[in-house]
Amino acid sequence: MSDSGGWAAMRERRMGEPGAAEAYDAARLAFELGRSARELRERRGWSQTELAKASGMTQSAVARFEAGGTVPTLPVLERLATALDVRLKVGFEQGGEAA
């Protein structure tokens, strides 16, 4: 490893760059949404192909979404919720920091 301090030091430097915290939060949200959809799909015993068909998407789009690779639009989330027979809940929560 170089003298740069390793992974933790690199992450700290990167998180200090403009826009890094926002990008990290967006990636976290995409991952959490995808994980939730995957868990719901698996509880139904469906494949990605079955969810794709039920929601009017392609299997590859479902796979990307479940992996956290995309942040879908609200209409896509609504289609997924309908296909999974759940209610979509979108809202705001009080954060730990003031903007």
Task: Confirm whether 4 is domain-assigned.
Answer: no
Residue 17 gets which letter from DSSP?
A: S
Give the pLDDT confidence of 11-58 residue by residue, as tens digits. 788 778 888 888 888 888 899 999 999 999 999 999 999 999 999 999
Question: Which sign does the torsion angle of CA 72, 53, 64, 39 carry?
Answer: positive
Task: Confirm whether 28 is domain-assigned.
Answer: yes
The answer to whether 68 and 27 are in contact (CB under 8 A) is yes
Task: Confirm whether 65 is domain-assigned.
Answer: yes
Number of folded domains that form the chain: 1
Task: Confirm whether 61 is domain-assigned.
Answer: yes
Provide the CATH number for the domain around residue 65: 1.10.260.40
Confidence of residue 85 (pLDDT cuts 50, 70, 90): very high
| pLDDT at residue 99, as a whole number | 47
